[in-house]
Amino acid sequence: MPHALVCLLLLALAAAAQDAAPVTLSNDCALCHSNASAATAMRDADGRAISPHGLWRATMMANSARDPLWRAVMSVEVASTPTRKQEIEATCMRCHAPMASELGLVDHGTGSVTHLLDCDSSLGQLARDGVSCTVCHGMSPDGLGTQATFSGAFTLNTERRMYGPHDGPFTRPMQMHVGMTPTKGEHVTTSELCASCHTLETRALTPDGRELDAVLVEQAPYLEWLNSTFADENVTCQDCHVPTSDADGRAITTRIARNPGGRDFPPVAPRQPFGRHTFVGGNTLVLSMLRDHAEELDVVAPAAAFDATIAATRAQLRELTARVHVERLERVGDELRFAVAVDNLTGHKFPTAHPTRRAWLRVVVRGADGAPLFVSGTHDERGRIVDAAGEPLPSERLGGSIEPHHDVIRSSLQVATFESKMADAEGAVTHVLLRGARYLKDDRLLPRGWRADHAEGERTAPVGTDGDDDFVAGRDTVHYAFAVPDDTSLEDVRVDVALLYQPLGARWAAELLAVDTPEVERFAVWYALADVTPEVVATAHVGSR
């Protein structure tokens, strides 16, 4: 029987299951939680539209199941360990397609539950709706922030309650239109709510699917936050990613809903707090792909909404992520020397989470005539780090070496990178997550307040930075020293530094694109068309010109 017909035949069954589960499509929530021209609800003091649905729809959360990079990476994991196909897909979809996962993933006779990502059934529609409203607002508080709920092991409440931070919610409209009951639940404003899907541990597998005695903390933003001053000061994930202030920093007071007819509900008075559901992270690459290939990826948010999210992402990267400083420029003998200090402003490592991400320092030193005296970390048009001659470094090439952590940089062949690199059980470099047994290198910038003796010190510890006394909580200082011509004067030298970031490092991209799967093939087309220029996070310079 054709797969499409199977989906249609099962549609009624899936719809019945949906009625019994505490999940519904975001469009159902948009009935009251989107902006309307005749309503003052969900607007800031300047009248700007800030409805939860309007801001959320062009985020990575809303498009977690459409994400072409995630689909490609998942296909690589399956191709690398085919005997664990169903387990891998179900594990990945638990957080990327959580509503379908909650109802029970089925393959509809295809042999793959990822079939739901393109299926027309009700279950398929729920799958593609990503991390939708009823996931976060329907999550039970039981066990949040504990080991028992990590790696997607959250539970949704069975009473069809939608939790929010307010006392005395107006219950009747939500009960009538979606069969949910709004209920006060302060846990929705805590970091523990985010911990389940943003703490992921994976057990290493052999190519034939056997489990090894090695567990990798693949993603740990929550654990990193716990081991930081942000947790001590109760600065939560939501404070940065669902801010309760407007774009100008003013606290928001507004009605939290309007009626289905497009006007304000008289019983709903303006309230605080009201979180802007921007969910801004750092993934400009995939957001751009979703915008530019909306039809192929079944994207429903308009291009303008993605433009706004991309702009907000770049603003956060440049204003709230890191700072760089050039220190102690001097000449010692025939060498020019200086240091670059990089401060992490985030409440977790930078970069954090999935190891596709990396940051590095681009340093260009020029003399009196403007010609480069020294370069480190420059890149080509495809975002590959190159040497002084413009050739990609070995660490950028398929199967190449790994750039080690550096305290002192003396050559254009050396670059200060901040990244995590995995090793398999035999100690070889791997870019397959389920081969990862440990980290060969993890010199991502630590958050302020990180401690080795913290309860999460071991699981969030850096790797490969031994002997670098300048790599400390919240900061790394990199030293540069190189020979310059005898007639070089400090008064004529200019040092330009930039901290650059890629959500998909060029080396990881090379390893990904070398695997032959349909998902990788599709991603390769969009990646070739994408602007992969690294994002500039912070800059600094010293010099007279």
Q: What residues does 161 pair with on adjacent strands?
A: 181
Q: Which residues 6+ apart lie within 8 Å of 488 measured at CB?
A: 331, 336, 367, 373
Q: Who has greater pLDDT, 3 or 287? A: 287
Nearest to 415 by CA among 429, 430, 402: 402
Model-wide pTM > 0.85: yes
Q: 37, exposed or middle or buried, with CB in 10 Å at 0-12, 13-18, 19+?
A: exposed
User: Would you tell me how many other CB atoms lie within 10 Å of the CB of residue 482?
Assistant: 16
In 66-167, which residue ranges form alpha helices assigned H by DSSP? 68-80, 85-96, 98-103, 122-128, 133-136
Residue percentage of the chain with pLDDT more than 90: 95
* pLDDT recorded at residue 4: 52
Question: Whole-number mean pLDDT of the chain?
Answer: 95
Residue 11 has pLDDT above 50, yes or no: no
Residue 238 has pLDDT above 50, yes or no: yes
Q: Which residue has the tokens 């169903």?
A: 86
d(Cα 6, Cα 342) in Å, to the nearest integer?
Answer: 55
Residue 366 has pLDDT above 50, yes or no: yes
Residues 142-180 pLDDT 10s: 999 999 999 999 999 999 999 999 999 999 999 999 999
477 in helix, strand or coil? Answer: strand
| Weakest mean pLDDT among 19-23, 294-298, 443-447, 532-536 | 19-23
Nearest 5°: CA angle at 455, between 453 and 457?
Answer: 55
* pLDDT recorded at residue 276: 98
Longest dimension (CA), the chain: 81
89 in helix, strand or coil? Answer: helix
* pLDDT recorded at residue 17: 47
Residue 502 has pLDDT above 50, yes or no: yes
Nearest to 416 by CA among 334, 497, 328: 497
* pLDDT recorded at residue 1: 46
* Average of per-residue pLDDT across 282-291: 98
Residues 320-361 pLDDT 10s: 999 999 999 999 999 999 999 999 999 999 999 999 999 999
- With beta carbons less than 8 A apart as the criterion, state whether 192 and 238 touch: no
d(Cα 42, Cα 8) in Å, to the nearest integer?
Answer: 37
Residues 338-348 pLDDT 10s: 999 999 999 99
* pLDDT recorded at residue 22: 84
Residues 461-481 pLDDT 10s: 999 999 999 999 999 999 999
Name residue 309's amino acid.
Answer: T
* pLDDT recorded at residue 14: 47
Residue 5 has pLDDT above 90, yes or no: no
Sign of CA dihedral 35, 38, 44, 46: positive
* pLDDT recorded at residue 7: 53
* pLDDT recorded at residue 545: 61
Ramachandran angles phi, psi of 367, nearest 5°: -95, -165
Residues 405-436 pLDDT 10s: 999 999 999 999 999 999 999 999 999 999 99
Separation in Å, CA 41 to CA 35, 246, 381: 7, 14, 45
